[in-house]
Amino acid sequence: MARRYYGQYCGLAHAVDLVGERWALLIVRDLLVSPKRFTDLKRGLPRIPTNVLSARLKELEGAGVVRRHVLPRPDGSVVYELTDYGNELEDIVLALGRWGARTLGEPGADDIVTADALIMAMRSTFRPEAARDMTASYELRVGDVVIHVRVDDGDLEVAEGGLPDAGLVIETGPAIKALMAGELGPEQAIADGQVALTGPADLLHRFVQTFRI
């Protein structure tokens, strides 16, 4: 698969040479959440052709962004993970996600939300300064995707799966973006049925103050 090169002696041009091919940054996004097997990456990016995923992983390995290792037996699976150089992309990916979310618009009929994408959305929109002296826990359900979030005095922990002791469970859909962008107020979202809560509503106010597009 031929790659495109810009032929400019420029750090930005070289960066785009390394990670600017289609799907490359989404692979990096998902690996920023956790190391993954090939099948895990394919599951999280269901529309990427298998041959393209293989090609992108090979290119990212060649660029020193991704490495692979074999898990100990009896598993023996090959797992892909970011190198130290690849992990330096985190702030860039988070900033790009924040920037793109501002003009995201409404989801298309075929658009999907994945757990890794939602986790990275929480990380990219987190405002530590708004979370000082705050301790809260959330379970966020967006369609079939469930993640949990813990905030503790400006620190963030976010991962896939439910949280039995969550202070607030938020069930929603596309309205989550409008809430985080300040386009929709918590009271209106609840009144319209765009958000369902299990727990105190004041924690939703803290949520939209802490996670902001």
Same domain, 163 and 120: yes
Same domain, 161 and 75: no
Residue 136: pLDDT above 90? Answer: yes
Same domain, 128 and 205: yes
Residue 6 inside a domain? The answer is no
Same domain, 136 and 81: no
pLDDT at 21: 93
pLDDT at 170: 98
Instruction: Give the DSSP letter string of 87-155.
Output: HTTHHHHHHHHHHHHTT--SPPTT----HHHHHHHHHHHB-GGGGTT-EEEEEEEETTEEEEEEEETTE
Over residues 43-70, the mean pLDDT reads 96
Count of domains observed in the chain: 2
Same domain, 65 and 145: no
Domain end residue (candidates: 70, 88, 106)? 88
Per-residue model confidence as pLDDT tens digits over 144-158: 999 999 999 999 999
Per-residue model confidence as pLDDT tens digits over 91-110: 999 999 999 999 998 888 89
Whole-angstrom Cα distance, residue 44 to residue 119?
12
For 42, the domain range is 11-88
Residue 108 inside a domain? The answer is no
Say which CATH number the domain at 159 has.
3.30.1050.10
Domain end residue (candidates: 88, 107, 132)? 88
Same domain, 80 and 121: no
Residue 26 inside a domain? The answer is yes
Same domain, 81 and 124: no
Q: How confident is the model at residue 76 (pLDDT cuts 50, 70, 90)?
A: confident
Residue 135 inside a domain? The answer is yes
Residue 177: pLDDT above 90? Answer: yes
User: Looking up tokens 């698969």, which residue turns up?
Assistant: 1
C-beta separation of 114 from 27 below 8 A = no
Residue 106 inside a domain? The answer is no
Neighbour-count burial for 95-114, b at 16+ CB within 10 Å, e otherwise? eebbeeeeeeeeeeeeeebb
